[in-house]
Chain A
């Protein structure tokens, strides 16, 4: 694969490696696939009617991975990408996605990624999505991910969603519908700085008996950035739902948290927690008594908080 240094940096940030991964993958650069691989159990098929992929994971597929990172390095590129994951019953796979934008120009670069997961009975997925931006210039680095999850009976989805630095504007929309005994775990980690804005919206429908959802969002808002967290959990059956928004606010930033619970039956057990505050001075003091400077202590606390 012929890649610029910036594109290599994006893929390294998003996938955690410079290497082409084993298993199924599709590497997308500036609107085009530059490398694609299917395996015996995972078929990666380009859509015919629009931009994106259909990814078919055979029932019973275990210990396999799918990597579908996206890089944008052309100034002013705007794209909508639709990826559908069809996960067969009893499968257990890891999906690594995410997008990075390098923009050093004056026009906005925009990626709207729409990911739909159709998870079969007793299947398990771990979805890791990292968003990243860099490059000086007034043009925005804008990423708007939409994640839709349908969880079949007794299935499980773990979503690890991370946006650490560099993305100027993002609207993150995550919806899920859970069948009987299905389980959704979301771990969201966000860091905004400068004048960046984040809107993170969740809507989870707990439809099946004994379905569970746990949304854990932690964020740091620095400088003059703004964050909005809205999470709605709807209990339509005997179920358990929990959402937590924990934010550290710094400088002149703003954080708004609007958790909502909607219980449609007395057997729905729903909890929400939201905590916004600055870094506790006792935490800084403790680390400084161990020999760290205030800046080092702040950095340790921020890194730990977002882990």
Chain B
């Protein structure tokens, strides 16, 4: 179980703008939580704070009752928190196979790596491809998701996973989430997609750095659709 208690984040520049304000959330084990809200509401910052990319200005974060507030990115990753970036990163000179090996934390066979790629609809030929700008945005996005799947993590955060999957059917992405849930992975998905929000056990709506609403899809989705807050 991952718990955030009174977590706030302010920028360190002169403005000291408050991006997150007193956020308290509990992500139960094996649950799927969808986080939505308008641009600038603090969704990606919340993900960055859970991963350790940004330090919380105040508040505490616990994972299975252990305080991880002051741990860095690496330590949190080693404790089983994984993150699929919204904008996949180019890693010049590093092959997809090498990335999957890094992600899994050990030398994996080509067969296992191939299976990992197949989950995101990529053929084994991609194993030797370098993760550079010769790959399309859609290919990079799928490789990003594959790298996260290879981690066998306890908790996975996906930041707008639907963005840029133009070459891969949305159905497959939904299947991946369903499979992860059945494999007892805790999922936190930042999304505006109705079909992803529908899968959630709980939807959190952020606005202005605060929790505006919280509830089941049955309760919140009709309102979000009415407001045009999801697509």
Across the interface, A301 reaches (CB within 8 A) one of B74, B87, B91, B147, namely B91
Residues A300 and B103 in contact in the complex (CB < 8 Å), given A289-B83, A291-B74, A291-B77 = no
Q: Please give me the residue from chain B that is nearest to A304 by CB atom.
A: B93
Contact partners of B53 in chain A: CB under 8 A? 285, 289
Q: Does A288 contact B (CB under 8 A)?
A: yes
Contact partners of A285 in chain B: CB under 8 A? 53, 73, 89
Encode A25-43 as 1/0 by CB contact (under 8 A) with B: 0000000000000000000
Which residue, B74, B83, B89, B98, has most C-beta atoms of chain A within 10 A? Answer: B74
**Alpha-carbon gap, A304 to B94, bound state (A):** 5
**Alpha-carbon gap, A133 to B100, bound state (A):** 34
Are B93 and A292 within 8 A (Cβ)?
Answer: no
**Alpha-carbon gap, A161 to B92, bound state (A):** 19
**Alpha-carbon gap, A31 to B87, bound state (A):** 55
Residues A289 and B91 in contact in the complex (CB < 8 Å), given A294-B74, A304-B98 = no
Are B85 and A291 within 8 A (Cβ)?
Answer: no
Are B93 and A305 within 8 A (Cβ)?
Answer: yes
Q: Does B136 contact A (CB under 8 A)?
A: no
Count: A-B pairs, CB below 8 Å = 60
**Alpha-carbon gap, A300 to B105, bound state (A):** 14
B88 to chain A, nearest CB (A): 8
Q: Please give me the residue from chain A that is nearest to B102 by CB atom.
A: A290
- Majority DSSP secondary structure for residues of A touching B: helix
Q: Does A283 contact B (CB under 8 A)?
A: yes
Q: Does A228 contact B (CB under 8 A)?
A: no
Residues of A within 8 A of B (CB): 246, 280, 282-283, 285-294, 300-301, 303-307
The 3 closest A-B pairs by CB, nearest first: A304-B93, A304-B94, A288-B73
15 A-B pairs besides A288-B72, A288-B77, A301-B92 with CB distance below 8 A are: A280-B89, A282-B89, A283-B89, A283-B90, A286-B91, A288-B73, A288-B74, A289-B73, A289-B83, A290-B82, A290-B151, A291-B78, A291-B105, A301-B93, A303-B93
Residues of B within 8 A of A (CB): 51, 53, 72-74, 77-78, 82-83, 85, 87, 89-94, 98-99, 102-103, 105, 147, 151
Question: What are 26 sample pairs from A and B whose C-beta atoms fall under 8 A apart?
Answer: A283-B89, A283-B90, A285-B53, A286-B89, A287-B91, A288-B73, A288-B74, A289-B73, A289-B77, A289-B82, A290-B77, A290-B82, A290-B99, A290-B102, A291-B105, A291-B151, A292-B74, A292-B102, A293-B74, A300-B102, A301-B91, A301-B94, A303-B93, A304-B92, A304-B98, A306-B93
